[in-house]
Amino acid sequence: MPLFAQTPTLAWQQLYGNSTDREYGNASIRLNSNLYVHGGYLWPPSPSIVNTYAVFTDGNGTFLRDKLFPDLNAGKITGMAANDDGTFVACGSYQDSVGAWAVFIFKADQLGNIQWRRSFTGDMGNSQRVVRVPDGYLIITSNQVRIIKTDLNGRFIWKKVYGQDCGGESITPLPDGSYLATGWSTRGGASTVSTFYKLSYWLLKLRPNGDTIYTRIIGTPTNYEVGHAAANTQDGGVAVAGAYVANVPNTKRQGQVLKLDSLLNLQWEMKVMPNGGSYSVGCEFFAIQPTVSGDYVVAGQNFRNTYNEAFMARITPPTTLGGNAGLNWSSYFTGGAFIREILFENDGSAMVGGTGYIGPVSSANMQVLALKLINTDQPYRPDFCATPPQAYFTTQLRPDSLILLGGSASQSGLRYGVISKWEYQFGDGSRFITYQPSAAKRVAHKYNQPAQLLFGTAVKLIVTNNLFCTDTLTLYPFGGGPTGISEATAQQVEVKLFSQPLQQRATLELKNYRGKARLQLEFTDLLGRKVTVLHRQEKPGLWQLEKGNLSKGLYLYRVVSPSSVVAQGKLVVH
């Protein structure tokens, strides 16, 4: 039997809290190899007021510290995201001064000290999850499927509302630069047979600015079917985990997995009832992770008659079209109530977070749960940067400054992606960062030295798309670079490229060129291979370009004399 086809081994299991309060774990993140944070809420017996709460542990589950955030009325952490600087953000819901559910987000350091906190009021419903993007954060809420975009300091940028009788559960980045919002939509109120509402999976494919690309509703109108989490699969599709209840008398809730193609069309589904439902009230999945072997690891809870039980399973997809998926293995965890998060490592181990019981099985004895599994399987993680972004800018030398132009024309490399961050490095230790394309169009920089002393200075533009993929373009406007640009420094040659990107025709002109040498225009692709671009020289330093049969993309051009490179840059073709 293959190693990962076996039931995983429990390395350790820990509960965190005290014997008098109830502590719940809703979200878990990994800040580094030896620091994890589990967020949720604490509910004391008296006064019976819910407080936002977090537990910090090392990689072996050893308790390091906990943190209470008592000034959020009935506050609960429901989602977290790690930042590159070792900090993290947490989102959740609380009751505002008029009793309506509002959304909070805060940033904290590794000790739990809050650096900033923001609130968004207006009956937002329960906040569910938060996703980090290069220029801020995306928060999805349960009331009407609302998505809030903030900047890196949590300040409001925009909010989108996608429906009325619906709710959002999670948001997932997709390899084409879009995002998948997962949740549910009502289908006509309460069931006439079971005790559940009639709900169906509601999936929204969204652009980075929140605009809808298309939506899918999946499910039988009379049933209860809810999606909680989604993940990318190796074939370019997605897998969604949730719950299913048939509209029949005395029915039981079942864990459910949907496999969808890249257009969100249903390919297959599987429902799971532990032990065939012989002693279970039901089952529900809150987390899902595809593996490199093609299987799916899911986690959630199994409802017993008097209590819940933390539950995980591994599902094997059908081997033939129209076939049935199979249950590879399933595991229960004594003392566990439910699992909300699976944090996989590349070695096949996984840190699992949720809520458990201490002492007798009772809701009055809840504590934050963390456990470590080995031999779970290696996770599949999509290569978001298979098609990287393409940085672009040109330079103009002025007597008192250097002008950088066209950075906003950089390409994301993704069908629905956008450039989210531009960072200019001027070669003198200074830099300019912007998250706005309008600010990247034209950037001026003054040096403390004359141009003659800046020979060999590299000027860079680093662009980052919304999936954190980067590209760097380096130019040497003062000469002395790898391509030997030197005449541009002495003569302060200014390059003008009209109608960029090139669609049909464009003009390339060298302003202030006073050399007498014959110039030649050369083109290559990004791999350095020569390409043919139709062009004719009107006069020294002036060319007319035509697209012809040139494919859409990014190309490099050089203006060369017999002794040096006079100018160079990028040509964007649409």
* pLDDT, tens digit (0-9, with 9 covering 90-100), for 420-460: 999 999 999 999 999 999 999 999 999 998 877 888 899 99
Give the per-residue pLDDT at 494.
78
Asked if 93 and 124 touch (Cβ cutoff 8 Å), the reply is yes
Confidence at 230, pLDDT banded by 50, 70, 90: very high
Residue 491: the pLDDT is 47
Question: What residues contact residue 469 under an 8 Å CB cut-off, 6+ apart?
Answer: 384, 385, 388, 389, 413
Q: Cis peptide leading into 134, omega within 30 of 0?
A: no
Tens-place pLDDT, residues 21-59:
999 999 999 999 899 999 999 998 877 789 999 999 999
Q: The dihedral of CA 456, 457, 458, 459: what is its sign?
A: negative
The whole-angstrom separation of Cα 359 and Cα 209 is: 48
Secondary structure element (H or E) that encloses residue 482, with its range = none
| Cα–Cα distance for residue pair 159/181, rounded to 1 Å | 14
Beta strands at 282-290 and 51-57: parallel, antiparallel or unpaired = unpaired
Backbone angles phi, psi at 453, to 5 degrees: -95, 0
Confidence of residue 105 (pLDDT cuts 50, 70, 90): very high
Which 8-state DSSP code applies to residue 502? B
Residue 538 φ/ψ region, left for φ over 0, alpha for ψ in the -120 to 50 degree band, beta for the rest? alpha
Instruction: Single out the residue of 430, 397, 410 nearest to residue 496, CA to CA.
Output: 397
Q: Which residues contact 1 (CB under 8 A, 6 or more apart)?
A: none
Whether the CB-CB separation of 137 and 89 falls below 8 Å is answered with: yes
- Answer for the pair 80, 89: CB distance below 8 angstroms, yes or no: yes
Which pLDDT band holds residue 485 (cuts at 50, 70, 90)?
A: very low
Local confidence band at 116 (pLDDT 50, 70, 90 cut-offs):
very high
Helix, strand, coil % over all residues of the chain, rounded to 5: 5, 55, 40
Which tens digit of pLDDT belongs to each residue from 507-563? 999 887 777 677 888 888 876 678 889 999 888 888 999 998 888 888 888 888 765
pLDDT of residue 488: 36
Q: What are the phi and psi torsion angles at 277 (to 5°)?
A: 80, 10
pLDDT at 60 over 80: yes
Between CA 191 and CA 249 the distance in angstroms is 10
Q: Give kind and range of the element (H or E) at residue 438.
A: helix 437-440
- The arithmetic mean of pLDDT across residues 388-416, rounded, is 91
Query: Chain-wide mean pLDDT for the chain?
Result: 88
Given a contact cutoff of 8 angstroms between Cβ atoms, the answer to whether 288 and 240 are in contact is yes
Query: Both tokens of residue 500?
Result: 């960029």
480 burial level (CB within 10 Å; 0-12, 13-18, 19+): middle
Residue 54, SS3 per DSSP: strand
For each of the domains in the chain, give its residue range(s) and CATH number, in order of start.
15-161 (2.130.10.10), 165-382 (2.120.10.10), 390-475 (2.60.40.10), 494-573 (2.60.40.10)
The secondary structure element, H or E, covering residue 399 is none
Residue 291 DSSP label = B
Q: Are strands 179-190 and 166-173 parallel, antiparallel or unpaired?
A: antiparallel
- The arithmetic mean of pLDDT across residues 295-310, rounded, is 85
Helices (H), 221-303: none
The answer to whether the CB of 127 falls within 8 A of the CB of 103 is yes
Could you count the other beta carbons within 10 Å of the beta carbon of residue 442?
14
Mean pLDDT of 5-18: 89
Alpha carbon distance 566, 510 (integer Å): 9
Give the whole-angstrom CA distance, residue 363 versus residue 527.
Answer: 62
Q: What pLDDT is attached to residue 463?
A: 96
Band of pLDDT at residue 174, cut at 50, 70 and 90? very high
- pLDDT over 90 at 343, yes or no: yes
Residue with tokens 């595991």: 331
Is the CB of residue 336 less than 8 Å from the CB of residue 359?
no
Residue 474 · residue 460 · CB < 8 Å? yes
pLDDT score, position 5: 57
Residue 367 to residue 24: CA distance in whole angstroms: 6
For 5, list phi and psi in degrees, rounded to 5: -85, -10
The predicted pLDDT at position 335 comes to: 80
